[in-house]
Amino acid sequence: MKPAPFDYARPNTRREACELLKKYGDEARLLAGGQSLMAVLNMRLAQPKVLIDVSAIEDLHYIERRDDYLAVGAGIIQAELLERPTLVDEVPLLALAMPWIGHAQTRNRGTVCGSIAHADPSAELPLCLLTLGGEVVLEAHRGKTRRVPAADFFQGVLTTARRPDELVTEVRFPLKKPGSRYCFREVSMRHGDFAIVALAAVIADQQVDLGIGGVADRPVVRTLSKGERLNAELNEFAWSLDAQDDAHASAIYRRHLIRELGSVMINDRSATEEGPIHAIQS
């Protein structure tokens, strides 16, 4: 279908964008790459009064390596981050997970921050940010900024801690920790479909931070201990997520995938290397 009519604004600065947000609040939707929002608009599931397009704001277009994190500005598309030659050394989990986001053609427009702000429970980027313990930077009018840890940012299906007058300007992914190993696995009906279950793991000597997407109403991370108790802890984790039956998979199957794939990822080194093929190499 075609979207319902809306007013359109394309600010050139963050300040202008934040003033528009203050003026319109809930009546406005922010548009960046549009790979989720445009589909929603076309199907008329959302009919905002105003669309604020932030893609022309030049100073949001940056990827910067700072002390212990990689900062990604709201203007950066997923393909640009994935094509970064040093990404695999900086944030290896992203290098493993990002090829699973949609398709090459949607990664060419979809933004990194847009996916975080959209907060789809099955999306890869929110899961990675949460599992790594990253942060979201928000800006409101008059340059008021605040940082929100990923654990507080994701609050439910398509629901975040962002206030109606705030713009997500940056997300921060913690850099690779020496001695840790990173894994990502996903099960979906076809490559590029929404995840039935997605697992992201940071595996250290004694413990594992395991993040699960696609099951609960938001991504969830839990620290598990390696060794004898692991399978019992995986089982408890799987049951804690309140998995639902839907058209794609049953709750039983989702819990099964968490137990089995969780165990494979954490115990089997070879799982690190598994991932889809990078179709586009730069």
Report the residue from 65, 144, 163, 191 that binds other proteins according to the rule CB under 8 A: 191
**Cα distance between residue 266 and residue 268, in whole Å:** 6
**Cα distance between residue 39 and residue 18, in whole Å:** 24
Stretch that binds other proteins, among 106-114, 126-134, 158-166, 204-212 (CB under 8 A): 106-114
**Cα distance between residue 280 and residue 101, in whole Å:** 14
Report the residue from 7, 27, 242, 246 that binds other proteins according to the rule CB under 8 A: 7
Minimal distance in Å, beta carbon 54 to other proteins? 11
Minimal distance in Å, beta carbon 69 to other proteins? 27
Residue 177's Cβ-side half-sphere holds a number of Cα atoms within 13 Å equal to 15
Which of positions 78-97 make contact with other proteins (CB under 8 A)?
Answer: 79
Which one-letter DSSP state was computed for residue 170? E
SS3 assignment, position 202: strand
Q: Identify which of residues 147 and 191 has a Cβ nearer to other proteins in the complex.
A: 191
Stretch that binds other proteins, among 99-107, 114-122, 177-185, 253-261 (CB under 8 A): 99-107
**Cα distance between residue 22 and residue 110, in whole Å:** 25
Q: Is 51 in the site for other proteins (CB under 8 A)?
A: yes
Q: Is 277 in the site for other proteins (CB under 8 A)?
A: yes
Applying CB under 8 A, what is the total number of residues that bind other proteins? 39
Report the residue from 190, 206, 228, 273 that binds other proteins according to the rule CB under 8 A: 190
Instruction: Identify the CA nearest to 123 among candidates 69, 52, 200, 47.
Output: 200
**Cα distance between residue 89 and residue 103, in whole Å:** 23
Report the residue from 15, 19, 53, 275 that binds other proteins according to the rule CB under 8 A: 53
**Dihedral angle, C-alpha 226, 253, 107, 276, nearest 10 °:** 60
* Class of residue 46 by CB neighbours under 10 A (exposed 0-12, middle 13-18, buried 19+): middle
Q: Is 38 in the site for other proteins (CB under 8 A)?
A: yes
Report the residue from 157, 204, 232, 280 that binds other proteins according to the rule CB under 8 A: 280
Minimal distance in Å, beta carbon 140 to other proteins? 20
Which residues bind to other proteins, rule: CB under 8 A? 1-10, 34-35, 38-39, 41-43, 51, 53, 55, 79, 99, 102-106, 108-109, 190-192, 276-282
